[in-house]
Amino acid sequence: MGIDSGMELGFEIDALKTCDGGYSYLKEPWWWAGMITMIVGEGANFAAYAYAPAILVTPLGALSIIFSAVLAHYILDERLHMFGVVGCILCLVGSVTIVLHAPLEKDITSVLQVWDLATEPGFIAYCLVVFVLVVILVFWYVPRYGQTHMVVYIGICSLMGSLTVMAVKAVAIALKLSFSGSNQFIYFVTWFFTILVIIFCIMQLIYLNKALDIFNTAVVSPVYYVMFTSLTILASMIMFKEWKSQKASQIMTELCGFVTILCGTFLLHKTKDMGSTPTVSSPVFYPPDTSPSSRHIEL
């Protein structure tokens, strides 16, 4: 699975009864059920990063957009219209395009190689920029605009998520090598990456739940996907330099695939309110309690 597909499916359930960006979702059985699906999905996602580059694994999260939009329609009564379906299809097509032209995974024989890549000047500069932006968002923008601007919470999750993926990849590689007979947990850097994964994941849990609590799930999921994927691909390119093994035509095709995904998420975003208006034309799916006689079509 791609970007937090289990996370997307799990967290969207908590929007049922939570309120005002608080922590009341911890009392909800549905939230805990969603958390279990998140753990399962993240387990598969974690394993994928050990065998494939992030630029290949991450875009597959477009599948979570499709499932999130459909489940939000049936569970949260957020009606999915024709444009939403087209947006989901575009996300799927873009992801397939990226997968077919993704670079090969680097041959890494020790977690120390990952540490060397992570301590190069380019990636250190990226980490500093991310840290500064997260601090500004958390302490300045969240108190002022968190309740009205979705991009604040999603920006925090996406920025931290890009670093989380790099740390997850390091831990996944360490586990793969350890299971194959080369113990990587004798190195301090392996435990350092593990601690980073735990801290970053907890912070992402908090702010993503706040975003899902306050804003429309069908919009949060695709916007988070676009920001998260963009920053993760950027971080992966800086750290692992995967683009060096690719031809210009492959890179351009990947960019076209990513633009296709952006178009799909744009459609989902622009049509998010169509499902809440009873006079909007031709929804693709109707809620179970809506009879044909009560459907209105606006010409």
Q: Walk along the chain (299 residues) and give the pLDDT tens digit of each residue.
A: 444 444 444 444 444 444 455 567 677 887 788 778 878 877 787 788 877 787 778 777 666 767 777 777 777 776 667 777 788 788 788 878 887 887 777 778 899 999 999 999 999 999 999 999 999 999 999 999 988 888 999 999 999 999 999 999 999 999 989 988 899 999 999 999 999 999 998 999 889 888 888 887 767 877 787 788 889 888 988 998 877 777 888 888 888 888 887 788 777 766 665 655 444 443 444 444 444 444 443 33
CA dist 232 and 240 (Å) reads 11
CB proximity list for 145: less than 8 A, separation 6 or greater:
152
